[in-house]
């Protein structure tokens, strides 16, 4: 293949669209490998109570708008159906479910494979001239470790496995994490639980007023600077603060969002602080975010000492054949679209340069 795309979420589909637009043919010039069982990217795994109306903006994929969606319908269904229609409309021919286990240098000793990448997967191996990695973060939920965690006799789960509020009826629930997911979980669970508690490492930052293009660019720039330094990226949301809307204000007035500082240890029946305070709970829900799912790239040694991968635009600094889309500053629906287009533009230049640098075969080199 000329290009292998790993992942068929927003970023992967955007990249596939622009590859087709550039004249590359799926299954001949490029292939898209997706480990999910069906279209929808990470959206298909979202909890049923996260309706489309609650989603913080969904930027349409290039070339096809998402219109007429029912705001009361689960976002997993709305966006799953949209992605499915998109794949069919543009004949993207996604291969799924396919798990990519590693990307490494191809065997340069075999004819025609010098300078190529080898993508190892459950479907087999692909040799490719360039790689677009669009694996996102959903597959790597972050679980912090605290003393006594293994002794807790109740239930522990992460946002990645959140089933909706119904399962917490009559329970005492502790939500850990100061992001958008944590506040959404709290506001849902509080209506059915026997009690809720909210713990965050830092005091929450609430954002008043509109959040326009200028503010958005400033937030993305902060995330981009970390990536430029080779540090693991933070989410764009982590630097924008939490928006104050009517639902948030009502929850704060009811005391649902009264935040406690981070506990020091976990006990068999709950959590405890060194100052003597304790809280007994039945459930600890870790709304502690995700990390980039890039372990399959480890053989290429792209990471910097700081733990992240430095990129210029979308191109990995340590390997011009590798592009990361939906990573760091492009980890948003509009950012993923732009990153897919930028990656394909850069890869086209790489392929043209490589073709131009390959000498034409002479008669003496042709076997007869």
pLDDT confidence bin for 359, thresholds 50/70/90: low
Query: How much is the average pLDDT of 117-128?
Result: 96
Tally of helices (H runs) and strands (E runs) in the chain: 7, 19
Residue of 53 and 135 predicted with greater confidence: 135
Residue of 72 and 337 predicted with greater confidence: 72
Query: How much is the average pLDDT of 238-262?
Result: 87
pLDDT of residue 109: 46
Percent of the chain with pLDDT over 90: 66
Contact 304, 310 (CB under 8 A): yes
Cβ-proximal residues to 15 (8 Å cutoff; 6+ apart), any chain: 5, 132, 134, 325, 339, 340, 343, 344
Please name every residue paired with 117 in a beta bridge, in sequence order, or none if there are none: 105, 128
Residue 236 CA to residue 329 CA, distance in Å, equals 7
Q: Is the pLDDT of residue 55 over 90?
A: no
Contact 40, 76 (CB under 8 A): yes
What are the tens digits of pLDDT across the range 283-317?
999 999 999 999 999 999 999 988 889 888 899 99
Please name every residue paired with 206 in a beta bridge, in sequence order, or none if there are none: 242
pLDDT of residue 1: 95
Tokens standing for residue 22: 């550039």
What are the tens digits of pLDDT across the range 70-92?
999 999 999 999 999 999 999 99
Counting beta carbons within 10 angstroms of the beta carbon of residue 310, is it exposed (0 to 12), middle (13 to 18) or buried (19 or more)? middle
Give the global pTM: 0.86
């Amino acid at each position: 293949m000329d290009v292998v795309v790993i992942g068929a979420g927003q970023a992967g589909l955007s990249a596939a669209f622009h590859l087709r637009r550039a004249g590359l043919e799926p299954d001949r010039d490029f292939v898209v490998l997706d480990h999910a069982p069906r279209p929808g990217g990470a959206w298909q795994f979202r909890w049923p109570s996260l309706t489309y109306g609650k989603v913080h903006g969904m930027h349409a994929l290039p070339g096809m708008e998402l219109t007429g969606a029912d705001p009361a319908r689960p976002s997993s269904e709305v966006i799953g159906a949209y992605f499915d229609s998109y794949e069919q409309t543009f004949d993207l021919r996604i291969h799924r479910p396919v798990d990519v286990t590693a990307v490494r240098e191809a065997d340069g000793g075999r004819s025609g494979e010098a300078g190529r990448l080898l993508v190892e997967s459950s479907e087999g191996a692909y040799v490719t001239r360039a790689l677009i990695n669009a694996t996102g973060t959903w597959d790597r939920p972050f679980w912090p470790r605290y003393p006594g965690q293994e002794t807790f006799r109740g239930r522990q789960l992460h946002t990645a496995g959140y089933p909706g509020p119904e399962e917490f009826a009559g329970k005492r629930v502790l939500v850990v994490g100061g992001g958008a997911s944590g506040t959404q979980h709290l506001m849902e669970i509080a209506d059915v639980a026997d009690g809720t508690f909210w713990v965050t490492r830092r005091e929450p930052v609430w954002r008043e007023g509109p959040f326009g293009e200028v503010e958005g660019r400033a937030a993305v720039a902060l995330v981009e600077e970390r990536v430029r330094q080779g540090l693991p990226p933070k989410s764009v949301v982590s630097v924008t603060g939490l928006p104050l809307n009517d639902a948030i204000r009502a929850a704060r007035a009811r005391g649902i969002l009264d935040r406690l500082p981070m506990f020091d240890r976990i006990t068999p029946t709950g959590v405890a602080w060194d100052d003597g305070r304790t809280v007994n709970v039945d459930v600890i829900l870790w709304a502690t975010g995700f990390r980039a799912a890039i372990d399959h790239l480890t053989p290429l040694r792209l990471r910097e000492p700081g733990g992240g991968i430095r990129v210029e635009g979308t191109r990995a600094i340590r390997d011009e054949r590798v592009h990361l889309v939906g990573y760091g500053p492009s980890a948003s629906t509009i950012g993923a679209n732009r990153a897919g287009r930028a990656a394909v533009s850069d890869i086209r230049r790489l392929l043209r340069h490589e073709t131009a640098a390959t000498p034409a075969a002479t008669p003496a080199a042709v076997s007869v």
